[in-house]
Amino acid sequence: MTGTADGWRTHRGGVLTAHSAHLEMNSVALPVTPDTCVLVDPGVTSAEIADLLAGLRHRGLELVAVLHTHAHWDHLLWPPGLASDVPRWASNACIDTALRNSVALREQAAADVGPSEAAELLSELDRLRALPADGSVPGVPQLSVVEHQAHTRGHIAVLHEPSGTLCAGDMLSDIEIPLPDGEGAGDDAWDVAAYMDGLDALQPLVDRAALVVPGHGNPGSDAAARLANDRAYLEGVLAHRDIVDIRLAEDSNRVIHLELKSWADAHP
């Protein structure tokens, strides 16, 4: 982890972020009361998550809930026996997808963190609780949740209203281009329409966001610009235009970009 001595970096309103060099992933602690908080997308290894909780305890913060934004392996992590009484929330569609794809998720995790670590971190998927459909988190009135289908089914974004902090999951990244997962879109590998709808769904949260924290990348105060960039990128792909986007300097992004362009060429 990078940042302060305990791995956490402090932002306005008492919001904490921690950055893992593994997958450039962010974990976020959102204050509920002066001595309690909610943790969003903790990661990545068992040791890192344990250190995050130790850092919160050192700061006098009790964990009252965990939120998982979507059903990709690196956003569903929790070591068994760790704060087992704390409710872990996700959308109903996220839980359904995670349980249905649990074998594949463990295989994907094993490729990144090793089989034993993957088996441990994803061993408690059946303990996830479904969030209410009204956009709330039980017992945490400071949070507003929007569910959408961009990137994967049942993806959620979480806005901490007091600080204006938007936890965007795998959206609005400064280092990753949009990845429109096509699961549920028939034979299509990509579901750009669902992604565009997801950006529309995020707009009201973005309008109130002072800080955006993507699942991977860097927190920033430019949520509106990031949403506009992602919309322009996808519109450019669909229009078969040459695209200038600094994120395409990264090899992994270029690979995805070429695949997405090939899909768009086949779906004029």
**Domains, the chain, with CATH or none:** 9-223 (3.60.15.10)
pLDDT for position 3: 45
Say how many C-beta atoms besides its own lie within 10 A of residue 233's C-beta: 19
Kind and range of the H or E run holding 67: strand 62-67
Global pTM value: 0.95
| 6-34 pLDDT per residue, tens | 889 999 999 999 999 999 999 999 999 99
pLDDT for position 183: 67
- Asked whether residue 142 carries a pLDDT value surpassing 60, the answer given is yes
d(CA 181, CA 103): 18
| Residue 25, strand partner residues | 20, 216
- Find the mean pLDDT for residues 158-164: 98
| 66-91 pLDDT per residue, tens | 999 999 999 999 999 889 899 999 99
Query: How does DSSP classify residue 1?
Result: -
pLDDT classification of 1: cutoffs 50, 70, 90 = very low
**Structural tokens at position 27:** 């974990």
pLDDT for position 186: 52
d(CA 71, CA 75): 7
d(CA 165, CA 170): 15
pLDDT for position 41: 98
d(CA 156, CA 41): 11
pLDDT for position 181: 84
- Do the beta carbons of residue 78 and residue 87 sit within 8 Å? no
| Residue 181, strand partner residues | 190
Q: Read out DSSP for 95-142? A: HHHHHHTHHHHHHHHHHHH-HHHHHHHTTTGGG-EEPPTTS--TT-TT
Mean pLDDT, all residues of the chain = 94
pLDDT classification of 44: cutoffs 50, 70, 90 = very high
| 166-187 pLDDT per residue, tens | 999 999 999 999 999 866 555 5
**Structural tokens at position 204:** 């009201």
| 52-64 pLDDT per residue, tens | 999 999 999 999 9
**Tokens 């904490």, located at residue:** 16
pLDDT for position 2: 40
pLDDT for position 187: 53
- Asked whether residue 230 carries a pLDDT value surpassing 50, the answer given is yes
pLDDT for position 268: 78
d(CA 94, CA 100): 10
